[in-house]
A and B are shown apart, each in its own frame.
Chain A
Amino acid sequence: MALTTAPSSTPRATGPVRTPADRRGSGRIWQREGLAGYVFLSPWLIGLLAITAVPMLLSLYLSFTNYDILTPWSEVEWVGLTNYERMFTSDASYWHAVQVTLAFALIAVPLKLAAALGVALLLNRAWRGVGLFRGLFYLPSLLGGSVALAIVWVSMFNRDGAFNSLLGFFGIEGKPWVNDPEWALETLMVLAIWQFGAPMVIFLAGLKQVPTELYEAASVDGAGKIRQFVSVTLPMLSPVIFFNLVLETINGFQGFTSAFVLSNGTGGPVDSTLMYTLNLYIKGFVDLEMGYASAMAWVFLLAIAVITVVLFSTGRFWVHYSDGEER
């Protein structure tokens, strides 16, 4: 580090700073640092304003209008709560999308976390080659969100896809899973569960933190493997389980790519894969009902906020933080 070359902008006149405590007392330096703070923060501040805050306000305003991007701004009509009313009372596809999304998140997320925890337990001990296993189990998390993998998945669960031939091997008659309204969403759930690598790696980090003395003590007390898992591993791991649960739930609600690819952007067959975000995309960018889509976005945001708050409030009852440890 070339610390010797002080930038010329630094006025020498301020003199050497003697102790760290002195800095606090010097108003001038504080101000200068305050200015520097805002200079360094400025890209983020501009981004916050232009890319986040203004769009949010705009979206709130639009949600009370019939904006459709084609009509000029001067003719945009304020329609009050009409969009929200329509959403909650007369738009059947909206409620259907809500149900599809809830079903997806409620089923896929717990199963994904269970798979992640199960494999993490198997990979917890250190042995030669374990790193390679961890990496390979993580690979689907990197690839799985892509259009390419969604395409592969849909082909795999087609009438004459690989999955049915596997079933045929066991003498089970297959069906066109992705074209069957009863099963299309389930194939997407399997795709989501398949990407258990990311929470698995976080579980592995958590398992490393569990002190081995606890297992020894439990074993001295006569606890078997299952009892140790329930009484030691699960409570000690609860903060990590909680973290994964919040993250994966929020992610689960936002599923888009695979549903889009499976249904070619329609949410079919028979709206069975009409995820909330896909529905929002269709309303906003296909039907060009951007006012209505904005109302949908706000309800989505509030729903995610409520769910996060609910998760956090239930967390008090089952998340165990060991004292003194920062998480």
Chain B
Amino acid sequence: MVTETAAPAAPPGAAPALSRRPGRTGRHIGRLLILVAILALVLYPLFWMIGTSLKSPEEIVNNIGLLPRELTPGNYPDGWRNFDVSFGRFFVNSAMVSLLTVLGNAISCLLAAYAFARLRFRLRGFWFAIMIGTLLLPGHVLIVPQYILFRTFDMVGGPWPYLPLVVPQFLATEAFFVFLMVQFIRGIPRELDEAAKIDGASPFGIFRHVILPLSRPALVTTAIFSFIWTWNDFFRQLVYLSDLEDYTVPVALTLFIDSTSQSAVGPMFAMSVLSLLPVFLFFVAFQRMLVEGLNTTGLKG
């Protein structure tokens, strides 16, 4: 789809500027063809997934091509109702966890980042080094004792089972976002702080009136990545959620694997497609920002 639009658009537009030497246009087209070929390979699984989600059970076995011979949109409602709990519930659960994570990360990480980037306090260097250290700490290492602690405080499978997933996010435990925001705040001219200080602003005033409004781009980047990562996260949600009704979308998707009867494959693919939809929409809306954010900070996708 995309390759078709990109391929004809690029060479004619670029040709006049590049054709000082005759070999250049040819080389450009050659490179473009290689890129289109690689891109086709890279995007193939995604298109195949969408195609398969629209195939009937027989076609899934017989026709391995991209396009279904006969559209079977019924996989979507079937998948939606495949379990005792509707997939709508799983989507609501995932959305709730993701949105609270976004909120928690944005608030708590910005507070910490402001302290690290702008305020002078005892042991700042020490705490900063620790924060950088936690950047490299794999989450899998802490999962067992964290689980035990949350369980001790009756937060696992309690009245609101998402506490273990959400509480840490309000305590700036995502060091990556703290670091990203520290880097960003360091780029805000200190003169603005000084001016506010002369006007009598306290550290709180400076945060409220200078840093907070100017940190919008960093907050948006954090929000986007936090949402996408939490939406895709599986490990922690698998560990903490045990009741079917509380499942988030990734955990619910694994239920399909248990029942790999032929008739479940279509619905499984349909729900897989739907589960990627929010991430894909974010990608379409913020494509430039995602790539740039990655560019400047080395964020992982």
Contacts and interface: CB of A to CB of B under 8 A. Distances in A.
Contacts of A52: 134, 137, 142, 173
A202 B210 contact: no
B103 interface: no
For the residues of B in contact with A, the DSSP-based class is helix
Given A41-B115, A151-B272, A256-B140, A137 B173 contact: no
Interface residues of B, number: 117
Contacts of A83: none
A294 B145 contact: yes
B188 to A, nearest CB: 12
B88 interface: no
Contacts of A214: none
Contacts of A298: 141
Interface string A256-277: 1100110011000000000001
A9 interface: yes
Nearest to B252: A147
A10 B200 contact: yes
B294 A201 contact: yes
A138 interface: yes
Given A3-B201, A136-B39, A62 B145 contact: yes
A81 interface: no
Contacts of B114: 40
B207 A123 contact: no
Interface in B117-138: 119-122, 124, 127, 130-131, 134, 136-138
Interface in A3-24: 3-4, 6-7, 9-10, 12, 16-17, 20, 23
Nearest to A156: B45
B6 A129 contact: yes
B145 A58 contact: yes
Contacts of B288: 131, 135
A130 B288 CA distance: 12
A128 to B, nearest CB: 5
A277 B140 contact: yes
B170 interface: yes
Given A10-B200, A36-B203, A301-B137, A3 B209 contact: yes
Interface stretch (A85-93, A215-223, A243-251, A315-323): A243-251
Contact of A132 (B6, B130, B256, B273): B6
Nearest to B212: A1
A41 B127 contact: yes
B14 interface: yes
Interface of B: 2, 6, 9-10, 13-14, 28, 31, 34-35, 38-39, 42-46, 48-49, 52, 61, 64-65, 107-109, 111-112, 114-116, 119-122, 124, 127, 130-131, 134, 136-149, 151, 167-168, 170-173, 178, 192, 194-205, 207-210, 213, 228, 231-232, 234-235, 238-239, 249-251, 253-254, 256-258, 265, 268-269, 271-273, 275-276, 279-280, 283, 287-288, 290-291, 294-296, 298-301
